[in-house]
Amino acid sequence: MNTVFADTFYWIALTNVQDLAHERAKAFTRSATPGTICTTEEVLIEYLNFFAQWGPHFRRKVAINIQNMQESRTVQIVPQTSASFLTGLSLYRARLDKGYSLTDCISMQTMRNEGITDVLTSDMHFDQEGFRALFRAA
């Protein structure tokens, strides 16, 4: 398996059994041959923030999920840095006509730096930047 990038969408779908993409996310996880899933600390911040108001059960669950990611040999977490912020901000400024979030811009720049083309998301913004969103409707 080539390295794929995991967007916040994927982590949420994997965690929330009621998410419409939950079964697809689980199926991808089960079928993925040993390889690497790359994500960023910025994505993980979004993931934690998404579940912040869901109560103690989900807060505990996502904290454990992140700990498992940190300990995994197949998940690469790219740390946030001033440089990642600035390169993300540069793309954000260059795409004023788009609805890209700063986290998406940082993710896209990380994907370019890592040579990754496939992303575990349904977000069309990644397609607009030339990446392949694996959860987009065919």
| Confidence category of residue 64, pLDDT binned at 50, 70, 90 | very high
Q: Identify which has the larger pLDDT, 133 or 32.
A: 133
Please give the C-alpha separations between residue 119 and each of 37, 55, 60, 130, in angstroms, as whole numbers. Answer: 9, 29, 26, 11
DSSP type of residue 50: H
Average pLDDT over the chain, rounded to an integer: 93
Report the pLDDT averaged over residues 86-111.
97
Domains and CATH numbers, the chain: 4-133 (3.40.50.1010)
Q: Identify which has the larger pLDDT, 98 or 34.
A: 98
Beta carbons of 7 and 127 less than 8 angstroms apart: no
Residue with tokens 């949420």: 12
Q: Model pTM?
A: 0.93
Report the pLDDT averaged over residues 55-77.
95
Residue-wise pLDDT for 8-41, tens only, equals: 999 999 999 999 999 999 998 888 766 789 999 9
Report the pLDDT averaged over residues 110-119.
96
